[in-house]
């Protein structure tokens, strides 16, 4: 299945790949842990993710790479949240993010859902003060396309903000959430996308990405309705 990007988004992705490469960057903070092992430096990583933790005396960073699957794309999207430290305690939030990734999900009955995710290059330290901590918002782009055999294809696009929060008590959280509802001729679709990275103590980090999908359509007296609230891309912890 091919996924057609709008001309504007396609141009943005091309520019990002030319100017910023594959979503990686030089790391000058010690790597504490990765999952899979050594995935930050491996020439080829199997699986849809690379989770990692970076730490020195000045900051603790939780990060993830969302790796494309089934699309022959070498690209990936990177998300990293930083708890800036002073005297060993959080005093600010930082974020580094960029890249593009795509997932093809093969579902029951030959249904295929394509999930495309893009983050413009973004780097910022010092968030705005909120109750108990600090916050940074950054733009992202989500596209979902679902194809039902003998029925057709339906697509939608959203531009949700990612939110990164570090609290003075040591909690950290970076979250992206998008819900799209669309109708097109003989098809309807409702999809939710969630990507989350969090820590309650800046030691153990939790990583999660999933979709929920409710899609249906009719053609020539033939109808299909598919629902799944648990399309997990990845879920786990690292410390």
DSSP state of 88: T
Query: For 121-140, how does the pLDDT look when each residue is reduced to its tens digit (9 = 90+)?
Result: 999 999 999 999 999 999 99
Q: Residue 145 and residue 66: Cα distance in Å, rounded?
A: 18
pLDDT interval class at 20 (50, 70, 90): very low
CB atoms near residue 224 (< 10 Å): 18
pLDDT at 4: 37
Structure tokens at 121: 């290059």
3-class SS at 16? Answer: helix
pLDDT at 207: 98
3-class SS at 45? Answer: coil
Query: For 191-207, how does the pLDDT look when each residue is reduced to its tens digit (9 = 90+)?
Result: 999 999 999 999 999 99
pLDDT at 3: 32
Q: Residue 25 and residue 96: Cα distance in Å, rounded?
A: 10
Angle at 95 between CA 83 and CA 100, to 5 degrees: 140
User: What residue has token string 């029925």?
Assistant: 151
CB atoms near residue 165 (< 10 Å): 20
Residue 89 CA neighbour count, 13 Å, CB half: 6
**Rg, the chain, Cα only:** 19
pLDDT interval class at 69 (50, 70, 90): confident
pLDDT at 59: 95
Average pLDDT, the chain: 86
Q: What are phi and psi of 203, to 5 degrees?
A: -115, -60
**Sequence ranges of the domains in the chain:** 7-238
3-class SS at 21? Answer: coil
Query: For 82-118, how does the pLDDT look when each residue is reduced to its tens digit (9 = 90+)?
Result: 999 999 999 999 999 999 999 989 999 899 999 999 9
pLDDT interval class at 27 (50, 70, 90): low
Query: For 131-182, how does the pLDDT look when each residue is reduced to its tens digit (9 = 90+)?
Result: 999 999 999 999 999 999 999 999 999 999 999 999 999 999 999 999 999 9
Query: Comparing C-alpha atoms, which of 77, 161, 177, 103 is closest to residue 127?
Result: 161
């Amino acid at each position: 299945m091919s996924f057609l990007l709008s001309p504007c988004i396609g141009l943005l992705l091309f520019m990002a790949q030319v100017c910023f490469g594959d979503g990686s960057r030089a790391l000058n903070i010690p790597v504490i842990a990765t999952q899979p092992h050594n995935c930050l430096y491996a020439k080829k990583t199997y699986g849809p993710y690379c989770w990692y933790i970076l730490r020195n005396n000045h900051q603790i960073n939780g990060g993830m790479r969302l790796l494309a699957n089934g699309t022959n794309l070498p690209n990936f999207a990177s998300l990293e949240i930083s708890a800036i430290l002073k005297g060993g305690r959080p005093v600010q939030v930082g974020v580094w993010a960029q890249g593009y990734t795509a997932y093809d999900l093969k579902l029951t009955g030959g249904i295929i859902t394509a999930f495309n995710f893009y983050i413009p290059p973004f780097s910022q330290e010092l968030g705005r003060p909120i109750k108990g901590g600090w916050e940074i918002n950054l733009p992202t782009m989500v596209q979902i396309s679902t194809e039902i055999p003998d029925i057709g294809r339906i697509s939608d696009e959203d531009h949700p903000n990612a939110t990164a929060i570090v609290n003075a008590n040591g909690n950290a959280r970076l979250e992206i959430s998008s819900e799209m509802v669309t109708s097109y001729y003989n098809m309807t679709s409702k999809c939710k996308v969630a990507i989350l990275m969090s820590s309650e103590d800046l030691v153990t980090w939790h990583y999660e990405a999933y979709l929920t999908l409710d899609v249906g359509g009719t053609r020539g007296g033939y109808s299909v309705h598919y629902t799944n609230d648990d399309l997990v891309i990845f879920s786990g912890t690292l410390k």
